[in-house]
Amino acid sequence: MQIRHKALAEGVELAVCQSEQFKTGLLSVTLAVPLAQRTATAYALAPEVLFRGSRNYPDMERLSAAADQLYGAVIGPGVRQRGESQCVSFLCSFIDDRYALDGTALLEPAAQLLGEVLLDPATEGGVFCKDYVAGEGANLADEINARVNDKRGWSIFRLTQEMCAGEAYALDKLGDAQQAVALGPQELWGHYQRLLEGARVIFYYGGSAEPDRVEQAVRRSFASLIRDRNTHLPCQVVARPGQGVRRVEEGMDVTQGKLAMGFRTGGVTMGTPDYPALLVCNALYGGTAHSKLFRNVRERMSLCYFVSSMLDAVKGLMVVSSGVEFAQFDRAEQAILEQLEAVRRGDFDQAEHQAAVRSVVNALLSRRDSQGQMEQDCVTQLLAVGGWTAPEELAAAVERVSPQQVAHVAGQIGLDTVYRLTEKEEG
């Protein structure tokens, strides 16, 4: 099950992962542009407006009915951030032809429906419908404002905003709530046309159909997108933190504190030679239930309800996220840093190293078992490094990582910013 990818035009690619493993097929279109203050809100809003209705299915009820007819095809937009790119994606998951009760082919009509939503929207006076723009603008503003409801997610979001202030990375991929309600149909239409003309385009298909059949369906349904374009998608990697650790503390009406700590990975990112070692290092330090953070800070010292580390391998960041009692902030922070120090010293045994390697290998090979994860990985890699590395290949590199390499990579990791979400002060 290899992924085959080819250019359909300059800056327009098609990746196909042919397999009979799943009951469904997945088709996605991703429009990728640099994340920018001026355009982020419009690019997050446009796909929501598109899913309010197309020319042939001009409202949600009819659009949804068309998807129901395709055995409940799941069709919808997704805005993703990859490094400092904003990826506006349109996804359609539909059951494989083999399981349709009446034996109809579903790939072609699904591609057609998706193409119609993107390229033939419902309009009023040549631009998006006014009510749809107003309604979705309000929804987007609500969604942005609702980030605060999930306290763990909020603490990580606030951390990266503070840590990467001044870098495009700190911008919200959903844009700005005030801009969202202020955008009018004419202005949004202009933005969307520029997105269609300028974005890098990636089509992805996973499912049982032959690549040729997929290409034909894509060419037929997305003809106007398949034109040359030249989009540069930069991502500023800050190898090391500035002078002094930046500290931010915010109060909120919560019963449990959240501690989020942001690190720079010393310039190690996806595609660099040390990347496999960084994966092992993260797993050993805080990525699994066998990690140092889990076993020591959570289990042995009982300092946190949860504590784990995660990577953004495109941007070169590591974040440690934990839930702690207010009184334990200082002790938890200290313990978390001591564990990193231990990894740097090479203070871990063969069993810990092996467990970390196994868990990374397991996670990589498991990606094969999810159509959605394969899509994510393929799009991420094509955007970040311009090519596709199979999970098996990366897993083999991970197996070769030595304890010395792990300690060396840990030595490159530097603490940049600490964010604490604590209880609200009285008065």
Partner 1 sequence: MEHTDYAALGERVYASKLPNGLQILALRRPEYSRQFAFFATRYGGMDLRFRGEDGTGWVDTPAGIAHFLEHKMFDTEDGNALEILAANGAVDNAFTAAHITGYYFEGTRGFEENLRTLLSFVSVPYFTPESVAKEQGIITQEIRMCQDEPETVAYYQLLECLYAHHPIRNQVVGTVESIAGLTPELLYACHRAFYRPGNMVLCVAGRVDPDRVADLAREILPPDASAAAQVDLGQPEPPGAVRPTARREMAVSMPLFALGFKGEPAPAGERLRQELVGQLACEVLLGPSSPLYRRLYEQGLVNATLDCYYDAAPGCAHLMVSGESRDPEQVLEQLLQEAGRLARDGVDEGLWERLKRAAYGGMVRRLNSLESTCIDLAQAYFEGEDYLRFPQRFQSVEREHVRQLIARWCTRERAALSLILPAGGAAQSRERR
Q: Which of residues 134-153 bind partner 1 (CB under 8 A)?
A: 135, 138-139, 142-143, 145-146, 148-149, 151
| Phi, psi angles (nearest 5°) of residue 286 | -155, 15
Considering the rule CB under 8 A, would residue 61 count as an interface residue with partner 1? yes
Q: Report, in Å, the least distance between residue 198 CB and partner 1.
A: 27
Binding residue (CB under 8 A) for partner 1 from 29, 168, 238, 361: 361
Q: What would the x/- binding string for partner 1 be over residues 112 to 131, using CB under 8 A?
A: -------------------x
Cβ nearer to partner 1, comparing 54 with 371: 371
Cβ nearer to partner 1, comparing 258 with 315: 258
Q: Report, in Å, the least distance between residue 256 CB and partner 1.
A: 4
Q: What would the x/- binding string for partner 1 be over residues 19 to 58, using CB under 8 A?
A: xxxxxx----------------------------------
Give the burial class of 65: count Cβ atoms within 10 A of its Cβ; 0-12 exposed, 13-18 middle, 19 or more buried.
exposed
Considering the rule CB under 8 A, would residue 59 count as an interface residue with partner 1? yes
Region 95-114 residues binding partner 1, contact defined as CB under 8 A: 95, 98-99, 101
User: How far apart are the C-alpha atoms of 412 and 365, rounded to whole Å?
Assistant: 27
Q: What would the x/- binding string for partner 1 be over residues 195 to 234, using CB under 8 A?
A: ----------------------------------------
β-sheet bridge partners, residue 91: 28, 76
Fill in the amino acid letter for 372: G
One-character DSSP codes across 78-147: EEEEETTEEEEEEEEEEE-GGG-TT----HHHHHHHHHHHHHSB-EETTEE-HHHHHHHHHHHHHHHHGG
Region 249-308 residues binding partner 1, contact defined as CB under 8 A: 249-256, 288-291, 295, 299, 302, 304-305
Q: Are strands 12-18 and 306-312 parallel, antiparallel or unpaired?
A: unpaired
Cβ nearer to partner 1, comparing 233 with 311: 311
Region 322-351 residues binding partner 1, contact defined as CB under 8 A: 323, 325, 351
184: nearest Cα among 60, 31, 42: 42
Q: Report, in Å, the least distance between residue 145 CB and partner 1.
A: 4
Category of 104 on φ-ψ map: left (φ > 0), alpha (ψ -120 to 50) or beta: beta
Q: Report, in Å, the least distance between residue 382 CB and partner 1.
A: 22
Cβ nearer to partner 1, comparing 254 with 310: 254
369: nearest Cα among 19, 102, 49, 81: 19
Give the interface segment with partner 1, choosing from 27-35, 107-115, 167-175, 248-256 (CB under 8 A).
248-256
Region 62-91 residues binding partner 1, contact defined as CB under 8 A: 64-65, 67-74
Q: Report, in Å, the least distance between residue 180 CB and partner 1.
A: 13
Q: Which two tokens stand for residue 111?
A: 């591609």
Q: Report, in Å, the least distance between residue 222 CB and partner 1.
A: 23
User: How far apart are the C-alpha atoms of 26 and 115, rounded to whole Å?
Assistant: 14
Region 369-388 residues binding partner 1, contact defined as CB under 8 A: 369-371
Question: How many residues contact partner 1, by CB under 8 A?
Answer: 77
Binding residue (CB under 8 A) for partner 1 from 111, 225, 355, 410: 355
User: How far apart are the C-alpha atoms of 166 and 329, rounded to whole Å?
Assistant: 28
Give the interface segment with partner 1, choosing from 189-197, 211-219, 224-232, 245-253 (CB under 8 A).
245-253
43: nearest Cα among 223, 198, 218, 229: 198
Q: Report, in Å, the least distance between residue 92 CB and partner 1.
A: 12
User: How far apart are the C-alpha atoms of 335 and 327, rounded to whole Å?
Assistant: 14
Cβ nearer to partner 1, comparing 194 with 367: 367
Spatial contact of 263 and 416, defined as CB atoms under 8 Å apart: yes
Considering the rule CB under 8 A, would residue 354 count as an interface residue with partner 1? yes
**Could you tell me what percentage of the chain is helix, strand and coil, using 3-state DSSP and rounding each to the nearest 5?**
45, 25, 30
Cβ nearer to partner 1, comparing 152 with 227: 152
Binding residue (CB under 8 A) for partner 1 from 28, 86, 359, 412: 359
Q: Report, in Å, the least distance between residue 2 CB and partner 1.
A: 14
CA atoms within 13 A of residue 358's CA, in its CB half-sphere = 9
DSSP H helices in 222-328: 275-282, 292
Give the burial class of 249: count Cβ atoms within 10 A of its Cβ; 0-12 exposed, 13-18 middle, 19 or more buried.
exposed
